[in-house]
Amino acid sequence: MTEQQMEEDEHQIVTVNSPEQLAKLLHFQQDTAVASHDLKSAKGFLQTCLATISEATPTGKNVDVFSAYLERQFAQYQSGSKDDADKPAFLPDVFQTWNLAVTNSNDRLFALSTRVLRLILQCISNSFDLSRFGAPLCRTLLQYGNLKTVSRGMSSVKLSVSSPCLQLMTELVTFDGGAFARQVFLKREWTFDSSALSRKLGYANRRGENETFEKVRESIRSDAIRYVLAHLKFQPAQTQIEILKLGNVVRPMFDHLISDTHDIAMAVLDTVRESVLRNKGIPRSSKSFLLTDRVLSNVAKLYHTESHDTEDSAERNVHDVAHSFLLLACTSAQNGTLYDSWGWYYRKREDIETSNDQVSFPLMTTPTATSLRGHEVHPRNTKLASFLQTLRPWASNLEQDLTLAIFESCPELMADYFLKKSSFQFDPKLTATWIGYASFMYASISLPVPKYFGRTGSYDSSPPQLSVILENLLPSALNQAVLTRCLNQSVELITFFAVRILIIALEKLETVLKMFEEACLARNKATWEAAGQTLVYEFCQRCPKMKDAVAVFFKSKPERQLEREAITRLLALYYRVVPLTALEENLDVSKHLTEILKADPPQDHGAKELKLLELGHLLNCARWSLSMNWFKKGEGSDLSPFTALLKIVAGSSSESDLQSSNSTDQIRDIVASVARDNYFLQSETDVSSCEALVLSIAMCPGQRFLSFLDDCIARHVKRPIKYWDDLETLKSKDKTLAHAKGPLSMIWMTIYEQSSFLRDADDILIERAAWIARFSLCCKAIGENATLIDASMHHIAKSSTKTMRTTIKKTLRDASSHERSAKQTLIQTTLSTKPQPPPPPPPPQTAPEPSEPPPTKTPKVNFTFPPPYDQDHPALTRAPHKDIEALIADADLPALILYLSSPDLHIRIQAHTLLSSITSALPHSPYQERTQLALLLGELLETANSFHTLHSSSSSSSTPSTPSTPALKSIPALPFTATQFAAHALPILADPTHPLYPKLNSFLNREPAWHIPRLPSYWLRSAVLNIPSSSSNNNVDDYDPHREITWVLDYLIDALASTADLRLCFRKGVFERVCALYGGAKAKANGSATAGVGVKGKVLRLLWRATGLEGGSDLLVTRYAVLGWVRGMRAGDGDGFEGALGELEERIVATCSRERIGEWSHGTVVVGAAGVGVGEEMDVD
């Protein structure tokens, strides 16, 4: 008989009005039909009682009847417990009917009796007054015979039999806060059959097409879930651990969550979250055993279910419950499946320390995009890595939030995710999916870099794998081709998304590179530097070229301020972070800069802030760009960009918003930098003349004089040498001016020249004259050459019109001594001062003066060290405006060559770019020696590229490069051995009469690149041994080797500027040959005793220079026994170099390592606190 037949004939149900009537209905009947009818009536009565008890005021006749019935049954139970030997039964009639149904296999009667028992227990459990009757009923249920009945019902495959049993046992477990839960599980062979539960949990709810959630009947799976959840909620921790080990029970609860009702799904997630994940008594291993990647994926499927609000979940949403569950399970190392992350590393610090060579070697490789794509990473959190592949973060905000939270908690997984997500396509298509892709990519790249890349306390000796870092900066799906197509799209939204992604990627790369620099100071410097160079090179291979970003900038519309600000920010980041890529494209932003400065400020506050940001980005681009024309007026503009910025700094601009913003400081720095680089304002005084110029402009109320100032600056920049000649001419006319002391800004010579041609309206001339006078006062106040300024003012007043002359005299007359003092105080106290250069290193200690004065003919050797590193690099700004002759004459070309050895990467990049441009322009130059010069510069650049290739291939093969397009980002600093040779070779190429001219030309025609370690030994051998033939020198008899040897020694002295050059010289035996050269016939003093003249003096200077480098003195002593050599030379020297040799000996003793020398000599050489005394017997050989 079906359940529907059991509920028919409702009119035959008996109404209960007294305890006796209820006892009669529950009395044991042999007739199963009568028993069924009676139980059905009792069931209706109990349901009414349960509804009444559940109300706020649980009082009523039915409850009183039920309470009286239980009192009578409890009295019988107590009397039976005293008389009967067997365990008494509470409600024996009901249990007899229950057993009768089992005996007769009457499923209908069994289900009815089970439901009646559940309702009785439920009513007792929900009423405080009736709760004392619950314990006897629970004990009766836990009796052996009843447990067998329960086990039979729970294991039945019939829904009408097993479902009531599961509901009854759920009530038993939850009664009184789980008072009997432990006893139920102890009898788990009858109450917790894992096989039967697993089978029932595997059933999925089946919903009719037209049924709502309120009418869906609870299935056997729902009852089984509630029963298991009751155990997880009320069992002690040890029992919970045992239940969690039953994977066939706990895991199937999650398999069909998507088809369960939302109430069931939320109950599962809430119970597991609160009773398992947040239970500190359960170990993490048990939690991890439950949370497999399949379980997590099944929970994540709830993101895609339709949200239906029911009475029980009107204020909650299954999506939010699932999200909070997954966040806890996936991002907490104590409460879920997450293992402690090591950031971007995949191994512990100890593992990497023990195999440091094996780890650092691949970091110096230059992997291709293909190898990076297929490069295997092995994350520790494999379960989460597998789960992440099932998520679709681009299609769901909650899934995106979850993915990002996992990435942030476990940074190692981001690289693994994108490397394995081969189906992730970013081809530009304006669809909802693509926008979701772009949003997810932006959010992923925006995640912070782990502190110390995941290590604790300090950086590791090696950086993480480059493939991992690259995927965190710019995932492989965002390759150069895809991003370039995005930038070139006509749809502005696609372009805007791509620009924002590149911005955040470059900012993150900048952060990573700063961390690399910090790590270089703490740990393995060579490994970190090599990895950083390779990282930037590979990043440049993924990001678009500069020309594509510039194209977006030029086609952007000024009225679209958000997009305009973004693209200018991107350009500024290119220059700041990856200058190599930026310098590949010429960008002149002078026109756009002028337009912004001319435009009226927006009225809207947000638009005004965007415009200021755009201005700041353009200023950064202008500062870095080699093609920026600061002094060219744009179309429709009265002032050049430089003067327009000067006007803003001075506060005379009408755009008060600009001058009051934070960008004013940035503009002030740029104005000072441009003025310093173009040398029309001096920078020798404590307060720079740029500040004096700004103050003089601020003191003048008018603005029409600015066009005159703009014209003077432009004229000086075009022809600076002319105005230096004018200054010399001016000094030659007056001896007083020639002896005047103090620096002078060269803009004065331009004003001096142009003042004679001022012909304008009187009011304009008055403004110009007033500014010139005030500028003179400010310049003299900061300490410029007052004599020259007064002479210039006298000439200006004499050659100008009467109106100007009158204005100048009046302005100078009005400036009383008090006013001048105030102006000087204002300049010195309110304006920024010029940064002072670092103090020079202390001079090396020299030997004390001898007691007897040396002979007058004794030559004095000028022992020097390399000059301090110049931070200004003026040749970089002067070179683009000069021709070849001027570059050589002004020593700018040698400076550019030496910049290739600069420790500053940006300086090396700019120098390489300028030298490449000069080399390309030489064939079309009128310079007479252009062929040889092009050959020299071309071989220098090719040597730089070969040196880079050799540097990179120490670990793996590198990408080939050409002189025009090298992989400059990873260019290492060239040794001074190469750059000083090229710089010293320039004068030889300009002088065909030089004895080394034919040898140098022969050398340049040997091979396209130089072998740097062989350069010193080659030219030593060439100068000492190779006598020129008659074909190469018309007068061989007049050949003088001293000029060649002197050139070689000068070259070696200047080249010995770093420890790398020192090791190179020792490796090729340079010092051995030089020491032999000292005592040879060619080492005569050449008739001169002046400082630094003669071969011997230069040999001693070279040895002195070696002692100034780290380890130099130790190598001289241990490799060449130079102490014994010095003593021998002093004894046999007849050219007066005894004093210089003594100074050199003192220097070597003072700078060598005593422990190292003692160990090398086995104690035969003792270096005391006072050094090696003169005349003390020592065995150094």
User: Is residue 1171 helix, strand or coil?
Assistant: strand
Contacts of 938 (CB under 8 A, 6+ apart): 919, 963, 1008
Burial class (CB in 10 A: 0-12, 13-18, 19+), 842: exposed
Q: State which amino acid sits at residue 315.
A: E
> Per-residue confidence at 1115, pLDDT binned at 50, 70, 90?
confident
How far apart CA 592 and CA 295 sit, in angstroms, is 57
pLDDT for 543: 93
Contacts of 1013 (CB under 8 A, 6+ apart): 977, 1064, 1067, 1068
**Displacement of CA 257 from its chain's centroid (Å):** 41
Most confident of 298-312, 720-734, 848-862: 720-734
Residues 1041 and 1086 sit within 8 Å (Cβ to Cβ) = no
Average pLDDT over residues 33-53: 88
**pLDDT > 70? residue 937:** yes
Most confident of 761-770, 930-939, 952-961: 930-939
Distances (CA, A) of 194 to 394, 727, 819: 40, 103, 100
Architecture of the domain whose range is 1011-1029+1038-1181: Alpha Horseshoe (1.25)
Average pLDDT over residues 358-377: 42
Could you tell me the sign of the dihedral formed by the alpha carbons of 316, 318, 323, 328, in that order?
Answer: positive
- Residue spans per domain, the chain: 12-185, 193-205+218-338, 349-544, 689-830, 886-990, 1011-1029+1038-1181
pLDDT for 411: 93
Residue 163: how many CB atoms within 10 A of its CB? 25
Reading the block at residue 134, the tokens are 């619950």
pLDDT for 567: 94
Could you tell me the sign of the dihedral formed by the alpha carbons of 820, 824, 825, 831, in that order?
Answer: positive
Residue of higher predicted confidence among 801 and 145: 145
Q: State which amino acid sits at residue 164.
A: P
Contacts of 855 (CB under 8 A, 6+ apart): 1136
**pLDDT > 80? residue 971:** no
**pLDDT > 90? residue 956:** no
pLDDT for 968: 44
How far apart CA 121 and CA 124 sit, in angstroms, is 5
Reading the block at residue 654, the tokens are 């009408």
**Displacement of CA 984 from its chain's centroid (Å):** 41
User: pTM above the 0.95 mark?
Assistant: no
Contacts of 549 (CB under 8 A, 6+ apart): 487, 499, 502, 567, 570, 571, 574
> Per-residue confidence at 298, pLDDT binned at 50, 70, 90?
very high
Average pLDDT over residues 94-120: 91
pLDDT for 1086: 43
> Per-residue confidence at 547, pLDDT binned at 50, 70, 90?
very high
Q: b/e for 171-189, b at 16 or more Cβ within 10 A?
A: bbbbbeebebbeebbeeee
pLDDT for 813: 63
Residue of higher predicted confidence among 371 and 591: 591
Q: State which amino acid sits at residue 1032.
A: S
pLDDT tens-digit profile of 90-105? 888 899 999 888 888 8
Residue of higher predicted confidence among 818 and 128: 128
Average pLDDT over residues 641-659: 68
DSSP classification of residue 1168: B
Average pLDDT over residues 34-43: 88
Average pLDDT over residues 1100-1105: 86
Reading the block at residue 232, the tokens are 């997880």
Residues 472 and 539 sit within 8 Å (Cβ to Cβ) = no
> Per-residue confidence at 240, pLDDT binned at 50, 70, 90?
very high
Radius of gyration for the chain, computed over Cα atoms and rounded to the nearest angstrom: 46
pLDDT tens-digit profile of 775-791? 888 898 888 988 898 88
Residue 603: how many CB atoms within 10 A of its CB? 7
How far apart CA 669 and CA 665 sit, in angstroms, is 6
pLDDT for 1132: 64
Which residue(s) pair with 1171 in the sheet?
1168
How far apart CA 933 and CA 919 sit, in angstroms, is 8
Residue of higher predicted confidence among 83 and 988: 988
Exposure of 339 in the CB half-sphere (CA atoms within 13 A): 16
Q: What is the number of residues in the chain?
A: 1181
Average pLDDT over residues 848-873: 55
- Pinpoint the alpha helices (H) of 107-191: 107-126, 134-141, 144-155, 159-174, 181-186, 188-191
Average pLDDT over residues 1149-1175: 61
pLDDT for 903: 84
pLDDT for 815: 56
Residues 455 and 349 sit within 8 Å (Cβ to Cβ) = yes
Compute the mean pLDDT over every residue in the chain, rounded to the nearest whole number: 80
pLDDT for 219: 79
Residue of higher predicted confidence among 993 and 415: 415
> Per-residue confidence at 1089, pLDDT binned at 50, 70, 90?
very low
**pLDDT > 50? residue 688:** yes
Provide, rounded to the nearest whole percent, the portion of the chain with pLDDT above 90. 28
pLDDT tens-digit profile of 621-638? 888 888 888 888 877 778
**pLDDT > 50? residue 319:** yes
How far apart CA 921 and CA 934 sit, in angstroms, is 9
Using N-to-C axis directions, what is the helix angle for 1138-1151 and 1122-1132, rounded to 10°? 160
Residues 40 and 32 sit within 8 Å (Cβ to Cβ) = no
> Per-residue confidence at 205, pLDDT binned at 50, 70, 90?
low
Average pLDDT over residues 748-762: 81
pLDDT for 663: 64
DSSP classification of residue 175: G
**pLDDT > 80? residue 368:** no
Average pLDDT over residues 223-246: 94
**pLDDT > 80? residue 1157:** no
User: Is residue 203 helix, strand or coil?
Assistant: coil
**pLDDT > 60? residue 1033:** no
> Per-residue confidence at 7, pLDDT binned at 50, 70, 90?
very low
- DSSP secondary structure of 904-960: -HHHHHHHHHHHHHHHHHGGGS--TTHHHHHHHHHHHHHHHHHHHHHHHTTTS----
pLDDT for 241: 94
pLDDT for 363: 41
Reading the block at residue 335, the tokens are 């409460």
How far apart CA 577 and CA 474 sit, in angstroms, is 14
**pLDDT > 50? residue 357:** no
Average pLDDT over residues 296-311: 79
**pLDDT > 50? residue 388:** yes
**pLDDT > 60? residue 29:** yes
pLDDT for 113: 92
Average pLDDT over residues 1090-1106: 73
Q: State which amino acid sits at residue 23.
A: A
Of 219, 221, 140, 213, the C-alpha closest to 175 is 140
Reading the block at residue 623, the tokens are 């500062």
pLDDT for 183: 94
Average pLDDT over residues 522-541: 89
Q: Helix (H) and strand (E) counts for the chain?
A: 63, 0
> Per-residue confidence at 862, pLDDT binned at 50, 70, 90?
low
Using N-to-C axis directions, what is the helix angle for 159-174 and 144-155, rounded to 10°? 130
**pLDDT > 90? residue 444:** yes
pLDDT for 869: 62
pLDDT for 513: 94
